Structure 1
Amino acid sequence: MEEKQPMVFDRYIAADLSPDLLNRVMMLESEIRNATDKDVVLIAYEESQHNPT
């Protein structure tokens, strides 16, 4: 049996967006939702400075 690598959950963190940029992301979610009739969630993230290794 092949051994799986452990998952690393702390490599990325939520991006620190300005209120204006956050509003633009939410507006884009709404536009996509309206165009597709599906719930959509966009996630902004950045690489963490924490190195788990």
Structure 2
Amino acid sequence: MDAKEPVEYDRYTAADLSPELLQRIVTLEEEIKNATEKDVVLIAYEESQHNPT
């Protein structure tokens, strides 16, 4: 791998969301779980400012 290319996990950080938006994500996870009977985890990321592509 070329050292100049960003490492995939280094390109993104956890999104800075308000408590209200975080609660909406949790609620949506629960709705999907109830509909599918499967555990679901939704993750919000944003592009890192220190290493954008």
Q: Provide the TM-score with structure 2 as the length reference.
A: 0.81
Compute the displacement of 1:38 (Å). Answer: 0.3
Q: Write the mapping of 1:31-46 to structure 2, written as runs, cut at 5 A.
A: 31-46=31-46
- Bigger share in helix: 2
Compute the displacement of 1:51 (Å). Answer: 1.9
- Name the larger-Rg structure: 1
Q: Provide the TM-score with structure 1 as the length reference.
A: 0.81
Unaligned runs of 5+ in 1: none
State percent identity of aligned pairs.
73
Root-mean-square deviation (CA, aligned residues, Å) is: 1.8
Unaligned runs of 5+ in 2: none
Runs of 4+ in 1 over 3 A off after TM superposition: none
